[in-house]
A = this chain, B = another copy of it.
Amino acid sequence: MKDETPPDIPTFADVLAARDRIAMHIHRTPVLTSRMLNEMAGAELFFKCENLQKAGAFKARGASNAVFGLSDDQAARGVATHSSGNHGTCLSYAAGRRGIPCTVVMPRTAPQAKKDAVMGYGGRVVECEPSTSSREAVFAEVVAETGAEFVHPYNDRRVIAGQGTCALELADQVEGLDAVIAPIGGGGMVSGTCLTLSQIAPRVRMYAGEPEQADDAARSLKAGYIIADDAPETIADGLKVPLKDLTWHFVRNHVADILTVSEAEIIAAMELIWKRLKIVMEPSSAVPLAAVLKNPELFAGQRVGIIITGGNVDLKKLPWM
């Protein structure tokens, strides 16, 4: 059972096809460095700034790949997802670019800013109660009504292949990387990065960073099977979701280790990045730097890529205020 490969695993050819498909719809994001952060880490850090991506998150890559890969018939019926995070916003962005309908099911308790973000790109928000059963029922209704194509936030071949285009750019922008680290929630970015690096730079070690308070992926990796937490609480709110079969495939086959960090370590790393790199990014994106600073022995003297996954944060509620 352990070595069973799910049937719909994306391939490197999918990543290359995604790159061509989405090139017009995404930014080639810059890589930033800071001598002071290098000194703190005892390593050379290269920050791949997906917070500067279209719609403010790497998820514009996977969402664009899914949307622009649809046939005209499928596209006419639109796309749908359930997400109160960046995936909903990014799917709305991509659908808007193609001029097709997008419906995002969200708990009525989700922050208004998240709903506004979806609607700002032309998407429709349908509210559900804040429970899994309500979400599933409402979502099923939306799909039945519209015939929309479901684009899962991460457990989707097209989405993972799209996220894999980020590492293509990173490897092109930075020579001789020894390791790459990304935050892990559902594992979409980690999976796409593993997929790409295992093909073009197999010597690069892949790490994931995870909040201690939502460490289901770290425990899954140790246990050898997927563990899902019930409603974890962390400031890194993009990282609360569990692994699924496609992402688990990449995590268990390619990830060297999953490093966990405390809430205080996340906030400290976030403030460091804002101050030193002068970028606006969300708490989830601070998890990898926190993990690198906490485990200097793993990265000493090495060239380390750090993926800053998103920048969608409430500027009125910063954690150090």
Q: Which residues of A contact B (CB under 8 A)?
A: 27, 30, 32-33, 35-36, 51-52, 54, 56, 120, 271, 274-275, 277-281, 311, 315-316, 318, 320-321
CA A158 to CA B283, docked complex, whole Å: 41
Q: Which chain B positions have C-beta within 8 A of A33? A: 27
Given the interface contacts A318-B315, A321-B321, does A52 sit within 8 Å of B281 by beta carbon?
no
List 14 contacting pairs A-B, 8 Å CB cutoff, sorted by A: A27-B32, A30-B30, A30-B52, A35-B54, A52-B278, A52-B279, A56-B278, A274-B280, A274-B315, A278-B279, A278-B280, A280-B280, A315-B320, A316-B321
Select which of B52, B275, B321 is within 8 A of A277 by beta carbon: B52
Q: Give the residue name and chain of the B residue nearest to A97 (CB).
A: B35
Q: Give the residue name and chain of the B residue nearest to A35 (CB).
A: B54
Q: Which chain B positions have C-beta within 8 A of A275? A: 280, 315
Q: Give the residue name and chain of the B residue nearest to A113 (CB).
A: B275
CA A311 to CA B316, docked complex, whole Å: 18
Q: Which chain B positions have C-beta within 8 A of A51? A: 278
Nearest first, the 7 closest Cβ-Cβ pairs linking A and B are A278-B311, A30-B30, A278-B280, A51-B278, A274-B280, A52-B278, A279-B279
Contacts beyond the supplied A27-B33, A278-B280, A316-B320: 4 A-B pairs with Cβ under 8 Å: A35-B54, A52-B278, A274-B315, A275-B315
Q: Give the residue name and chain of the B residue nearest to A50 (CB).
A: B278
CA A320 to CA B317, docked complex, whole Å: 11
Q: Give the residue name and chain of the B residue nearest to A315 (CB).
A: B274
How many whole Å from A287's CB to the nearest CB in chain B?
Answer: 17
Given the interface contacts A271-B315, A316-B321, A321-B321, does A281 sit within 8 Å of B281 by beta carbon?
no
Q: Which chain B positions have C-beta within 8 A of A281? A: 278
CA A268 to CA B320, docked complex, whole Å: 22
